[in-house]
Structure 1
Amino acid sequence: MESITAIIESPKGSGHKFDYEPALKCFKLKKILPAGMVFPFDFGFIQDTKGGDGDPLDVIAISEITTFPGCCMDCRVIGVIKARQTERNGETMRNDRFLVVPEVSHLYKEITSIEQLPDIIIEELQSFFKNYNEQAGKKFEVIESAGAKDAYNLIKNHTS
């Protein structure tokens, strides 16, 4: 499968949530996470895609790397955490999290599928997103995790 380009909004270890604002052509600080809560890996989006929430598809870059808002990385898709998100107003939509590995990663260079990751990484990511959404008055419900091929097909089906 070909690489995709991930654009990072919130870096690994950051307690700040940044969002890209197309109209302003910059990254805007959206919120500060509760004390002690930080992004476990770089978090961003896949350009030219559109998910169930109307935003570009969310991406988590699994690696030893910590980048910065606006960093673009070529990545291989290794899987997806399929999820339903319920907003404060009760509206429910799909809001999947696509797992990728940056092509430059040394520590994860052999990882090509979600099945190769330690279970604890997937469990921690699921817990992070449940807690993150709960703090915002939303509900994040994991449907299932799927491998690289399923994830890549979902991305292709959501490309504009």
Structure 2
Amino acid sequence: MPNASPMELPALDPDTGLVRVVIDTPKGSRNKYKFDSKLGLLKLSRILPAGMSFPHDFGSIPSTCAEDGDALDVMVLADAPLFPGCLVHVHLIGVIRAVQKERRKMIRNDRLLATLETSVNKPSITQLDQVDGQQLKEIEHFFRSYNQAQGREFRITGRGGARQAQKMFRDAVREFDRSKAKAAKGA
């Protein structure tokens, strides 16, 4: 796929059947990057306030469309920070369900949680309930604080396990395919 956007890659790796994630922001970074599909590059989206950084690697699943209109967001629990633009294969282990205010309307903006296919310290984590409870609270606190720093209302509405994450993934792939087919007809 020469000159193709990484966000146009199939959501599943054809050889392994694992979910693909393109990392945009590494663990420990204060810089939030976002993929610009028109340029085919990652762009600096914002700088987090002093003392705030991403607790884990953050990225998106290519060829998906979530309820907020963007690719599915994924926080990847990895052994060490990855780099922006890195393509990884993951196991979806759960979801943090959330809503946020966009254009005066509350919309869903869930965050999937995943572990790497290749992991030294986390290979046994296959379900959300295997993640340390304090670590989950810290992740939720980060998302609340991140949105609050932007002046955006954000509320966590619950958590779900691997099955729920897989269902959300399948739904987002179908929505992406529907949107792409609709755009092709209109072109």
TM-score range, shorter chain: over 0.9
Match of 1:141 in 2: 155
- What is the letter of the counterpart of residue 143 of structure 2? F
| Structure of greater relative contact order (alpha carbons < 8 Å, 6+ residues apart) | 1
Report deviation, 1:90. Answer: 1.9
The structure with the larger Rg is 2
In structure 1, how many angstroms separate the alpha carbons of the residues matched to 2:121 and 2:159?
22
Match of 1:54 in 2: 69
TM-score, structure 2 normalization: 0.83
**Are the equivalent residues in 2 in contact too, given 1:8–1:72 (CA < 8 A)?**
yes
Match of 1:34 in 2: 49
Identity, % of aligned positions:
37
TM-score, structure 1 normalization: 0.96
Number of residue equivalences: 159
**Are the equivalent residues in 2 in contact too, given 1:14–1:38 (CA < 8 A)?**
yes
Gaps of 5+ in 2: 1-16, 177-187
Structure having the higher strand fraction is: 1
Render the CA deviation track for 1:126-145: whole Å, top value 9, x for unaligned.
10000000011112211111
Match of 1:17 in 2: 32
Report deviation, 1:120. Answer: 0.7
Match of 2:136 in 1: 122
**Are the equivalent residues in 2 in contact too, given 1:65–1:105 (CA < 8 A)?**
no
Structure having the higher helix fraction is: 2
Query: Structure 1 residue runs of 4+, over 3 Å off?
Result: none
Gaps of 5+ in 1: none
Q: Does 1:102 align with 2:132?
A: no
